[in-house]
Amino acid sequence: MLQGDLAEIGFTLHSSVVIHNVMTMQFIEFIFLILTLALTLIIILPFTGVLVRFRANYNPKALRLDVEGGAQAHTGPVIHSYFGMMARVHRLEGWPGLYKGLMPTLLSTLVVTLFILVFLDTPRVRHGKYRAPEAGILGTLGYAVGMMLITLPTAILTYRSITTPHKLSYFGLMQNLRILLTPTERRRPWILYLTPGLLTAEVLHIVVVVLVLEPLRRLLLPELLVESDKGFSGISAVKLSIFLVIVALSTIILTPLEVIAIRLAIQRNHASSEYNSVSQEVDGDAEETAEFSGAEEDVIGLRHEADPYLGLVDCAKRIIDEEGWTTLYRAWWVTLLGNVGSAFSLR
């Protein structure tokens, strides 16, 4: 009897130690993941912010009419390159300007990471790598659309935080929301999903990647789907070349969608397009004392909100008519490099 009790006590102690060790390892891995994400944001965010500003910059090529019908030349900044925009941001706003959008990006990353860890990841820890459920093409499409819907509000806030001329506080949430959102959007936050053309642009981007690029990758480069000791040596050079050409051609479609998505995301939703956000404010709700980031001039030019884009097609047409078709392909090489990098990531 005594031996049985001792054995039971020993088993209980052993189980407790095992559980404690497992929980400790999971906690350490979680902390390591958070630190890795933080380091990634510190490195990536300045480049992302510059990309958003470069694509959002409104630079009409023709004269516009003033309120009296006279011709008025565009006086906004003219930036012709990605790195030119980076230099301009640093010159006018310094390092804080390069890290605009930090808090909404951090919030979005944490939400998505926790969602994947809790609901979607496999039980086995894979050294900080997480993947979508293996449910076929339609399952992957549904997963991608679902994650887009979850992160869309924070993506909109991130884009607006990056492009706003106002200086935002890192922890002044309510004040920042009063600057970034119109009263209509604050009263009815779901209207962000109804931004004309934005969901269409995002879904089309997902469709091209999931229903076109991913199946072709599986067909032409099945070696990339599994980890192998051979690395990339077993990949056919001909098939690889064909796939890279397809990825390059997809950039012709994906880059305009990304540019249009940014333009539509920073376009605020008003109760009526003829009113600006200040004229819609209720008493005591206006933020007239919001400080501007640049002491000399705005970093980028923004299109007047009184004449908004009416949808994806309208946005594309107006960009071509007002700024030229090359505007739709700003920083196209970033999209190309991103697609090539995603193609070679093991899943």
**pLDDT tens track for 9-50:** 454 544 454 444 445 655 676 676 667 777 777 888 899 999
Please write the tens of the pLDDT for every residue from 154-193: 899 999 999 988 888 877 788 888 889 999 998 999 999 9
User: Would you state the structure tokens that stand for residue 190, as one six-digit string?
Assistant: 């779901």
User: What's the whole-model pTM score?
Assistant: 0.79
What integer pLDDT is reported at residue 283 of this predicted model? 37
Who contacts 3 (Cβ-Cβ below 8 Å, separation ≥6)?
none
Tell me the percentage of the chain whose pLDDT exceeds 90: 35
- Closest listed residue to residue 327, CA positions, set 251, 263, 265, 259: 259
How far apart, in Å, are the Cα atoms of 282 and each of 162, 178, 279, 334?
Answer: 26, 12, 8, 42
What integer pLDDT is reported at residue 281 of this predicted model? 41
Confidence grade of residue 209 (pLDDT, cut at 50, 70, 90): very high
163 burial class (0-12, 13-18, 19+ CB within 10 angstroms)?
Answer: buried
Over range 288-306, report the average pLDDT. 70
Give the chain's mean pLDDT: 78
Please write the tens of the pLDDT for every residue from 125-154: 343 344 455 667 888 888 889 889 988 998
Q: What is d(CA 310, CA 264) in angstroms, rounded to the nearest whole number?
A: 9
Confidence grade of residue 56 (pLDDT, cut at 50, 70, 90): very high
